[in-house]
């Protein structure tokens, strides 16, 4: 993988924690920071894609009405639990 350099500002406490972790793991600060950034991007790109997908399905009218979901949840543990609501 080809890499490039850029500068990022962090608080002094975060820098100290990063230095301590780097020393403890035998990794460089740069390696750990790059790993953290890549994990952050993976999680957030996945989450944003999921939100966009869910929003698009709602825009197509594929959602479950809020009141049906509330009624279903309210029935939990009542002995007369309602079935999972179906999409409209």
What's the pLDDT tens digit per position in 31-83? 999 999 999 999 999 999 999 999 999 999 899 999 999 999 999 999 999 99
pLDDT higher than threshold 80 for residue 88: no
User: What stretches of the chain show up as alpha helix (H) in DSSP?
Assistant: 12-25, 29-59, 66-74
The CA-based angle 60-66-68, given to 5 degrees, is 105
Rg of the chain over Cα atoms, rounded to whole angstroms, equals 23
CB 86 within 8 A of CB 64: yes
Q: Report the Cα 68 to chain-centroid distance in Å.
A: 27
**pTM of the full structure:** 0.68
Looking at beta carbons, which pairs linking 71-76 to residues 24 or more positions away fall under 8 Å?
none
The pLDDT, as a whole number, for residue 87 is: 84
């Amino acid at each position: 993988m080809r890499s490039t350099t850029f500068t990022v500002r962090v608080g002094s406490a975060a820098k100290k924690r990063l230095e301590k972790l780097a020393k403890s793991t035998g990794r460089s600060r740069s390696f750990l920071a790059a790993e953290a950034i890549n994990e952050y991007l993976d999680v957030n790109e996945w989450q944003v894609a999921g939100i966009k997908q869910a929003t698009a399905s709602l825009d197509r009218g594929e959602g479950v009405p809020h009141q049906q979901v509330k009624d279903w949840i309210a029935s939990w543990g009542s002995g007369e639990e309602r079935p999972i609501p179906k999409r409209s």
